[in-house]
Amino acid sequence: MALQQDSIDTLHLPIPTKGYSLLDVQLPQYYREGFFSKDTLFHPELPGGRSGVAGDPVPYNIHNDSIITSILLGFFILMVIAYANTHEFVTRQLKKFFYVPSEGTMEITETGTESRIQLFMVLLSSVLLSLLYYFYVIHFVGDTFILNSQYLLIAIYLVMMVSYFMAKWWLYTLVNTVFFGSKKNRYWLKTILFISSMEGAVFLPVVLLQAYFDMTEKNVVIYFVIVLIFVKILTFFKCYVAFFRRNVFKLQIILYFCALEMVPLLAFWGALDYVTDSLKINL
């Protein structure tokens, strides 16, 4: 009787005389639940969130970006293949670049394949210029934008670069056809296409050096300015050869070059700054 009295709970709680297995389907629910039954430390399948203090985020670096690396590697391989198929055309064009043709021989002979490869090189130039401007924005403007991905920002710059080349060619065609005729206009457009396509081959090394060999931003800017000035000098020379070598009013070439080359370039730079400032988060 004493043992039976000791086993009776005065609070009338059920006290089992022996242990129960939690796998027993007939076991009451109050035996299954406990104070730590829903603790994530005992149930790793439950979402427990993050513990501890969040650290500083790792800064973005282009050489750790697999997508950009794949794009640059793919363009490099395609550029090597393109040059292997058109090296004779490129060599011929470089040899004749400073040659002043007569009025009746202002023709640049090229095949359809060579024209398509030059257009591809212009696309490469647009991609590289977009990346260079993106590097400039990250280091000198800021790295916080309203966009969800930096790839979308680079894509916006790429669309603007392609639109700039297309708008400039359309403007040249409109003006040159009216004032100089279709023959000189074709010669000029082929010349501009060749110069723009060669920009891709010139800008590729500096993009690779800045992205994967930590070339300083100051040296990148100096390299870009030197290449830009050199390209504009070559463009000015070919403009003189194509349109103004027989013109006694030499001031017209300055007006022409400033109106169709420098003003669109400055306007395009202003458009890039405006878009960047509109997308940037000002902290």
pLDDT at 111 over 80: no
| Most confident stretch, 37-41, 84-88, 231-235 | 231-235
Residue 8, pLDDT score = 47
What pTM does this model have? 0.73
Q: Choose between 100 and 179: higher pLDDT.
A: 179
- The 3-class SS string of 194-214 reads HHHHHHHHHHHHHHHHHHHCC
In angstroms, rounded to a whole number, what is the distance separating the alpha carbons of residues 12 and 106?
110
Predicted confidence band of residue 257 (pLDDT cuts 50, 70, 90): confident
Mean of the per-residue pLDDT values of the chain: 77
Cβ pair 193, 119 in contact under 8 A: yes
Task: Quote the tokens at residue 217.
Answer: 């931003």
pLDDT at 260 over 90: no
End-to-end alpha carbon distance in the chain? 80
How far is CA 251 from each of CA 43, 78, 247, 261, rounded to the nearest angstrom? 83, 42, 9, 15
Residue 118, pLDDT score = 84
The whole-number average pLDDT for the span 9-16 is 54
Q: Choose between 32 and 142: higher pLDDT.
A: 142
The whole-number average pLDDT for the span 158-162 is 92
